């Protein structure tokens, strides 16, 4: 439905996207692993290349978008990244990956390399309004919001089920804030579930009333999330906000922190200031006890998703 409108919405026809992924090609709309980054590439009709193979690209592109990895920075800093990008792309842009501060855990020389690399870009794509202010101040480059995105082709016919239980957005580590989410989730007085992610720590499975889902692809995840009544993600690490958006799409009220666009826009009644566990517990109890409030939050989340994040609204400047 949207493929034939692609050139009407975006100013550059040929887009290449470079990440640490080891594959080359385009992402079809029926891809079951349609995570946020895959959805971006799909709707932009971008061709993906491994970041290590940029110097081998023979095609010429209007725009090259690069997602810098969080690992192998020492190796990447020795690679002629900017030179290789300029040879095959008329314009080049950085795509934020994770929170804007993550690079400050690198050794100092790699922090400087990261900063210098951003200054060589024509512009930057970022996740949230707060990230826009950060990068514009830090780098002095134009920053454009890349809204979090879902491709709905494979999720339009999810079964209608009687929802129950609460889903946490992440595991027990500071990155995801799983401990805080777990403590608040108990106020729903129902079984608590959490996905198994790369930062899952030892002994999480021994926490009382906590159930871990197995690793899933994106389609399996959305299908499973559809069975849940509540969402909670007290994650201090602000990035793309896919959990809040997935919940909004399904009409699942999600408790989360301010500073994340998808949370603030889609779940305003369930958004709290950083660290306000008291308020988070109050909202959880209200969602559990007040059906009218629950339905209001559920319907508002779906409405905000359609208004701000539906694919038809995805019209970034590229």
Q: Report the C-alpha gap between 77 and 56 in whole angstroms.
A: 18
pLDDT for res 7: 47
98: left (phi over 0), alpha (psi -120 to 50) or beta: left
pLDDT at 202: 77
As beta bridge partners, residue 89 has 61
d(CA 129, CA 144): 9
Which is more confident, 317 or 175? 175
- Alpha-carbon span 108 to 105, nearest angstrom: 9
**Is residue 4 scored above 60 in pLDDT?**
no
* Integer angstrom CA distances of residue 67 from 125, 217, 248: 10, 21, 26
| Whole-angstrom distance, CA of residue 121 vs CA of residue 82 | 8
Is the confidence at residue 48, as pLDDT, over 60? Answer: yes
pLDDT confidence of 96, banded at 50, 70, 90? very high
pLDDT at 200: 66
Q: Is the pLDDT of residue 316 over 90?
A: no
pLDDT at residue 317, rounded to an integer = 64
Spatial separation of the C-alpha atoms in residues 76 and 79, rounded to whole Å:
5
CA 87 to chain centre: 30
pLDDT over 70, % of the chain:
95
* Partners of 102 in the β-ladder: none
Segment 142-146 long-range contacts (CB within 8 Å, at least 24 positions apart) = 144/93, 144/316, 144/317, 145/261, 145/316, 146/40, 146/95, 146/96, 146/316
Q: What's the whole-number mean pLDDT along residues 305-312?
A: 96
Q: pTM of the prediction?
A: 0.94
Q: How far are the Cα atoms of 96, 134, 223 from residue 140, in angstroms, in the given order?
A: 15, 10, 42
Q: What is the pLDDT of residues 223-280, one digit of tens each?
A: 999 999 999 999 999 999 999 999 999 999 999 999 999 999 999 999 999 999 999 9
Who has greater pLDDT, 165 or 204?
165
Residue length, the chain?
318
Say how far apart CA 86 and CA 55 lie, in whole Å: 10
**Higher-scoring residue by pLDDT: 80, 6:** 80
pLDDT at 101: 95
- Three-state secondary-structure class, residue 143: strand
Evaluate whether 91 touches 115 at the Cβ level (below 8 Å).
Answer: no
What is the pLDDT at residue 198?
A: 66
Within the chain, residue ranges assigned H as helices are 6-9, 36-43, 73-76, 81-88, 108-119, 129-139, 178-185, 218-225, 242-250, 261-266, 277-289, 291-304
Q: Is the pLDDT of residue 1 over 60?
A: no
- Rounded to an integer, the average pLDDT of 73-102 is 96
Q: Does residue 309 carry a pLDDT above 60?
A: yes
- Which of 112-121, 165-174, 198-207, 265-274 is predicted least confidently? 198-207
């Amino acid at each position: 439905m949207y493929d034939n409108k692609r050139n009407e919405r975006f100013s550059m026809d040929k887009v290449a996207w470079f990440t640490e992924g080891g594959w080359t090609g385009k992402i079809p709309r029926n891809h079951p692993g349609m995570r946020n980054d895959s959805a971006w590439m799909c709707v932009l009709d971008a061709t993906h290349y491994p970041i290590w193979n940029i110097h081998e690209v023979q095609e010429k592109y209007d725009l090259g978008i690069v997602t810098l990895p969080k690992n192998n920075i020492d190796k990447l800093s020795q690679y002629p990244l900017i030179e290789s990008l300029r040879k095959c792309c008329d314009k080049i842009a950085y795509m934020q990956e994770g929170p804007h501060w993550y690079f400050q855990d690198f050794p100092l020389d790699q922090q400087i390399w990261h900063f210098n690399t951003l200054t060589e870009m024509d512009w930057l794509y970022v996740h949230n309004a707060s990230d826009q202010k950060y990068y514009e101040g830090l780098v002095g480059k134009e920053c454009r919001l890349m809204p979090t995105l879902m491709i709905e082709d494979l999720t339009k016919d999810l079964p209608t089920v009687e929802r129950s239980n609460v889903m946490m957005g992440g595991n027990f580590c500071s990155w995801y804030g799983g401990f805080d989410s777990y403590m608040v989730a108990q106020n729903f007085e129902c079984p608590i579930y959490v996905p198994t992610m790369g930062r899952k720590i030892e002994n999480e499975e021994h926490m009382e009333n906590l159930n871990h889902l197995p690793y899933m692809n994106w389609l399996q995840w959305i299908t499973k999330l559809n069975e849940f009544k509540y969402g909670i993600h007290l994650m201090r690490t602000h990035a793309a906000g896919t959990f809040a958006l997935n919940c909004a799409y399904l009409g699942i009220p999600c408790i989360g922190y301010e500073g994340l666009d998808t949370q603030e826009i889609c779940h305003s009644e369930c958004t709290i200031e950083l660290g306000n566990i008291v308020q988070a517990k109050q909202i959880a109890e209200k969602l559990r006890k007040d059906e009218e409030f629950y339905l209001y939050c559920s319907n508002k989340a779906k409405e905000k998703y359609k208004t701000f994040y539906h694919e038809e609204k995805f019209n970034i400047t590229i």
